[in-house]
Structure 1
Amino acid sequence: MKKILLTVTLLLAFGLMATSTPSNARELLDKVAVIVDKGVVLESEITDLMQGVKENAVINGQTLPSDAALRRQAIERLILENLQAQMAANMGIQVSDPQLDQTIQNIAQQQNMSMAEFRNEISKDGVAFEVYREQVRRELISGEVRRANVRRRVYITDQEVDSLMTIINEQGAQQAEYQLSHILIDIPGDASEQIVGEARERAEKILELLGSGSDFARLAIGASSGPKALEGGDMGWMNINAMPTLFAEAVGNKQKDEVIGPIRSGAGFHILKIADTRGVEIVEVEEVNARHILISPSIILSDAKAEQMLTEFRTELIEGNADFAELAKQHSQDPGSALRGGVLGWNDPSIYVPEFKQSLASLQKDEYSMPIRTVHGWHLIQLIDRRVDDATEKRKKDRAYQLIFNRKFQEETDAWLREMRDQAYIEVLDENA
């Protein structure tokens, strides 16, 4: 594909990508720029990504490094995305058209727009809707690849959870959140002392530039090897208990606009800036208890047939001619809930994929959903009940576990991407890159 892989958030932030390049110019640009294992990065992909970053910088009044530095960052981003796309193909991960349409509809609703308004907004930004759909499809596939490969690398002990629960209790009702910006000067795993020393010198030089008033985002785009380099290093808002341990220890008791570093880790030297801080109140959270039947399409079961099966089950249940638990035990392909009659138990709805969560939000007690499509297949859902969580010890433990999981998942994602990059065959064909 000639278009780039960008997160949905980045697409919206960039106002989407312009597609007004004349066709003859596009043909001249559309050549292989990088060989990535069995795939390639095209020149047009690099050009589009660089153009998007430049447009975003204009909108935000942000200065950028040289085109050469920006190009290097764009190439690295596209290499990682290409490797993830190849892995998705090898794993057989796909996103069907119905699931994709539902996801885009969710995005439109989050923007408080109808689909017609959303399509019009995309068109005003100069992007064909079909191009946008494929960008979202690729982002969904990349997310599923990351979850499938990183989740099994995360291990959490009861002791870790108990320790964090103690910290949360000591912090009381207010807990610190930080909006962090990040620059990483990476170090190869087998680096010599000389290479480590050179990396430290580069990090110290960046600190000097920051101290003399240089723009953090511009330096991040030009020099950082971190995953958010093209976003100016912006890591967004992070609870102190959910951020990497190394960062949490460094930012504790620091104030807005402070620059911290260099901090040494296995990945290299990190420089942090606290863009902002805020306190977060612990609030009551509504939980739902639901049950579902999952039918996953396969070579012998079409997408349409899977949906039809659940539609028929729904009719039988409404008419009183079937029992949900028995249908789940006989037909559901979710091994975690099928033997329990499809019951998922009490959970925060945010743990579910967006389509599942949205469907639950629209249901009344005991009501059945229409069949919905997610990355896992087709679901028929029944809402058993709702309740407001009263911050019991169980809730605190679940919250502590999730905070630790989020932190470790991000750490392992970064490590997994580095490992995948290091093991891949990469050849940059453009001598100027």
Structure 2
Amino acid sequence: MKNLLKSFALTCAIATSLASAKEVELDRVAVVVNNGVVLESEIQDLLTKIKLQAEKSGQTLPSDKALRVQVTDKLIDDVLIAQLGERMGVQVSDAQLDDTILNIAKNNNMSLEEFRKSIEAEGLEYDKYRENARSELIRGEVTRNSVRRRIYISPQEVENLLNMMKEQTDANVEYRLGHILIEFPTEATQKDINDAKDRAERVIKLLEEGSDFARIAIASSGGANALEGGDLGWRNINELPTLFSEIVDGKEKGTVLGPIRTGLGFSIVKINDIRGQQVVEIEEVKSRHILITPTIILSEAKAENMLKGFREQILAGEADFAELAKEHSDGPTSVKGGDLGWAEPKVYDPAFADALAKLEVNELSQPFRSSFGWHLAELTGRRTIDATKQMNENRAYQLLFKRKYDMESVSWIKEMRDEAYINAVE
């Protein structure tokens, strides 16, 4: 009986202790995005990361409230892109992820084990870092594929740029620009436009009075580089958006320009630095491929097996690559026997570029999957050229593409947000 009473008293004590203990919130939903969510822990993790980076670089940050708004917006965009990636079936295999992380380690002059320890030394979980890297790769692939479809460059544009560059006196000058975008809504009223312009002019006044450009960009810019302080990096005059290249030409370091009206809002640009263009050697590859796109009728496994069969026929001398491409390949290159011509690897889907990087000249790949479908690729040439001296139609096209890409990517994500269900949870 005594033991029973003791047990009962202990149970009561535990129950009382639990009842009086404060509830600890492990996590919560901060924002609902369509059928997905942004968690409070994700917001706090990114805030911590940005603050650590700012502390290392000596960059001052805006108020916690303003920074939280920008961080939350960035995470909402990430969720929307990830959702689109799921619908598109974009995936990054463990092998692709391992290769990417190994390359990051090599670029930092570290072994994989040293890189892992450096991640953990910063207080980050390596497995979490790894999965975040996978998500970044997927988002990058989805963004590239989606924005690429929105960009059209006419032969006349290429010809005009080539002609203009022959006459340029500043073709060897590079600018490092800061960019702040003061947005207005997609279907903006005149009042919306006037209000945005007023905000932009107030920002310019603050900058002229000595306010820190990067801090204001982090706090209020709607541009893709907002959380990097609006930094666009080093760019040749011809890589800049046309509106920017026209106004920075001939201006001095430190000049603040704007507001510049675009289809997205009002841009404010600061020339952070100017330098003579560095001699840049780029690698170009020449390749051809056979693309099989899976369908409801043609399964993934069947598409892969078709290419395995083609590979065996080509290696055995029983079939010609170009003829197989003309007969079976999907996409516009089929009429040219799958020939892709000379190009920088970075213009391709990451999986395709990675496959070419592992090949010797005249070597056939194994079948591999990209976001476009299953490929059988052959590397037919590899060369290094001086990009500062050689300007051909392909390079001119890539410069024009880069000009348009930044603006189109912002416009694309803005349209996705307009169509999405987004609700902040109080």
- TM-score bracket, shorter-length normalisation: 0.7 to 0.9
Give the Cα–Cα distance (whole angstroms) in 1 for the partners of residues 342 and 331 of structure 2: 18
Give the Cα–Cα distance (whole angstroms) in 1 for the partners of residues 415 and 110 of structure 2: 40
- How do residues 7-406 of structure 1 correspond to structure 2 at under 5 angstroms? 28=25, 30-171=27-168, 174-280=171-277, 285-293=282-290, 320=316, 322-323=318-319, 325=321, 328-329=324-325, 334-337=330-333, 340-354=336-350, 356-361=352-357, 363-369=359-365, 374-376=370-372, 379-387=375-383, 395-406=391-402
Q: In the alignment, which of 387, 411, 418 is matched to residue 414 of structure 2?
A: 418
Give the Cα–Cα distance (whole angstroms) in 1 for the partners of residues 324 and 406 of structure 2: 34
Native 8 Å contact 2:326 2:336 kept in 1: no
Q: Which amino acid aligns with 2:420?
A: A
CA apart distance, 1:405 = 1.3
Q: Which amino acid aligns with 1:151?
A: R
Give the Cα–Cα distance (whole angstroms) in 1 for the partners of residues 240 and 318 of structure 2: 48
CA apart distance, 1:159 = 2.1
Percent identical pairs in the alignment equals: 49
Q: Cα 1:336–1:160, aligned 2, differ >3 Å: closer, same or farther?
A: closer
Give the Cα–Cα distance (whole angstroms) in 2 for the partners of residues 226 and 29 of structure 1: 33
TM-superposition CA deviations, 1:395-414 (whole Å, max 9, x none): 52222111111111221111
CA apart distance, 1:273 = 0.9
Look up the SS of the partner of 2:149 in the other structure: helix
Look up the SS of the partner of 1:153 in the other structure: coil
Q: Give unpaired runs (5+ residues) of structure 2.
A: 1-20
TM-superposition CA deviations, 1:278-303 (whole Å, max 9, x none): 23267665543333455678897667
Native 8 Å contact 1:182 1:270 kept in 2: yes
Native 8 Å contact 1:293 1:327 kept in 2: no
Q: Cα 1:388–1:187, aligned 2, differ >3 Å: closer, same or farther?
A: closer
Give the Cα–Cα distance (whole angstroms) in 2 for the partners of residues 257 and 38 of structure 1: 45
Native 8 Å contact 2:287 2:340 kept in 1: yes
Of stretches 238-247 and 290-299 in structure 1, the one that deviates more from structure 2 is: 290-299
TM-superposition CA deviations, 1:286-341 (whole Å, max 9, x none): 543333455678897667x98788778767766x4654617954997554445655
Q: Cα 1:285–1:139, aligned 2, differ >3 Å: closer, same or farther?
A: closer
Give the Cα–Cα distance (whole angstroms) in 2 for the partners of residues 53 and 145 of structure 1: 24
Taking structure 2 as the reference length, the TM-score comes to 0.81
Q: Which residue of 2 aligns with 1:15?
A: none
Q: Cα 1:26–1:117, aligned 2, differ >3 Å: closer, same or farther?
A: farther
Q: Give unpaired runs (5+ residues) of structure 1.
A: 1-23
Q: Cα 1:308–1:92, aligned 2, differ >3 Å: closer, same or farther?
A: closer
Q: Which amino acid aligns with 2:127?
A: E
Native 8 Å contact 1:349 1:357 kept in 2: yes
